[in-house]
């Protein structure tokens, strides 16, 4: 059985178990892809489920959520940031990371209802210099969003801005899949992987620091203090609010 996950640091506690000796015996293989690619793989039936952008829940109501697992945050998320050459109220164009789905929708929601602006949106490869040659601002996600240097730019953390506006956490990604493919065996494995990752977070951090060349303190702060991996009633309320705002803008039907 094959499942899909984003290659970012934030997903590591949810999938590291599958690389352990016990996890490999589950017969579940994890393949990596950016959010937009994972959504396509799920639509094509290439994976049984995927850790995909939360907006896909509203675009595909026939898909089911694996309960109690999420990639979420409350307030600053660090890894989903808008970089601008001008103050946000003066932004007239935004380059959107083509690998992003939920964050691209969220930045449009924030501009429309929080920052009170209506910029043009331009799909772009996730390279900030390229983005800022084409637009006033650029959206970056994942490890690149967290590590990109921002000297001389206005930077908005989308998780923090959403919280300032709504007072709610934000759910970035969920395990989603067709109900017939979310077998008890698969669901149990995903929950076990989540629990193992949180119980062995020091091992996960060490492996990710080596893999990505990260500062250990930043990786620890991000995984232990920023990221949230359980889907609480507050997270479900936030999901419903985000879905409603996306519908208001016509981003989902």
Give yes or no for residue 101 having a pLDDT over 90.
no
User: Exposure string (b/e) for 21-60, b if CB count within 10 Å is 16 or more?
Assistant: eebeebebebeebbbebbbebbeeeebbbbbbbbbbbbbb
Q: What is the CA radius of gyration of the chain?
A: 18
Q: Are residues 150 and 94 in the same domain?
A: yes
Are 186 and 4 a contacting pair, CB within 8 Å? no
Q: Are residues 65 and 175 in the same domain?
A: yes
pLDDT digit string, tens, across residues 39-84? 899 999 999 999 999 999 999 989 999 888 999 999 999 999 999 9
Residue located via tokens 């977070």: 201
Give yes or no for residue 105 having a pLDDT over 90.
yes
* Residue 213, both tokens: 């060349």
Predicted confidence at residue 143, as pLDDT, reads 83
Predicted confidence at residue 147, as pLDDT, reads 84
Give yes or no for residue 253 having a pLDDT over 80.
no
Beta-bridge partners for 4: 31, 50
What is the phi/psi pair of residue 228, to 5°?
Answer: -125, 135
Residue located via tokens 């109900």: 179
Predicted confidence at residue 225, as pLDDT, reads 96
Distance of CA 45 to the CA centre of its chain: 21
pLDDT digit string, tens, across residues 5-43? 998 899 999 999 999 999 899 999 999 998 889 989 999
Domain, as residue range, for 208? 2-72+169-232
Q: Are residues 91 and 161 in the same domain?
A: yes
Give the count of domains, the chain.
Answer: 2
Q: 245 lies in a domain?
A: no
- Looking at 146, 166, 186, the residue that finishes a domain is 166
pLDDT digit string, tens, across residues 137-188? 999 998 888 888 888 899 999 999 999 999 999 999 999 999 999 999 999 9
Are 234 and 91 a contacting pair, CB within 8 Å? no
Q: Mean pLDDT score of the chain, rounded to an integer?
A: 93
1 half-sphere exposure, CB direction, 13 A CA radius: 20
């Amino acid at each position: 059985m094959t499942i899909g996950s984003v290659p970012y640091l934030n997903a590591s506690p949810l999938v590291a178990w599958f690389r352990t000796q016990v996890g490999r015996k589950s017969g579940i293989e994890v393949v990596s892809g950016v959010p937009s690619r994972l959504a396509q793989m799920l639509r094509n039936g290439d994976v049984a489920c995927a850790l995909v952008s939360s907006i896909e829940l509203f675009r595909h109501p026939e898909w089911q959520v694996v309960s109690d697992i999420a990639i979420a945050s409350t307030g600053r998320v660090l890894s989903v940031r808008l970089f601008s050459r001008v103050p946000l109220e003066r932004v007239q164009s935004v380059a959107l990371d083509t690998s992003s789905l939920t964050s691209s929708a969220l930045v449009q929601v924030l501009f429309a209802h929080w920052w009170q602006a209506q910029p043009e949106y331009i799909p772009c490869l996730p390279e900030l210099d390229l983005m800022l040659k084409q637009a006033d601002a650029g959206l970056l996600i994942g490890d690149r969003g967290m590590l990109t240097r921002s000297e001389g730019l206005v930077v908005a953390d989308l998780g923090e801005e959403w919280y300032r506006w709504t007072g709610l956490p934000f759910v970035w990604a969920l395990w989603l899949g067709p109900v017939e493919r979310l077998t008890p065996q698969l669901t149990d494995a995903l929950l076990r992987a989540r629990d193992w990752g949180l119980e062995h977070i020091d091992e996960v951090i060490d492996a990710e620091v080596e893999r990505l060349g990260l500062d250990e303190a930043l990786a620890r702060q991000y995984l232990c203090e920023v990221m949230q991996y359980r889907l609480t009633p507050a997270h479900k309320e936030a999901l419903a609010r985000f879905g409603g705002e996306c519908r208001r803008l016509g981003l989902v039907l």
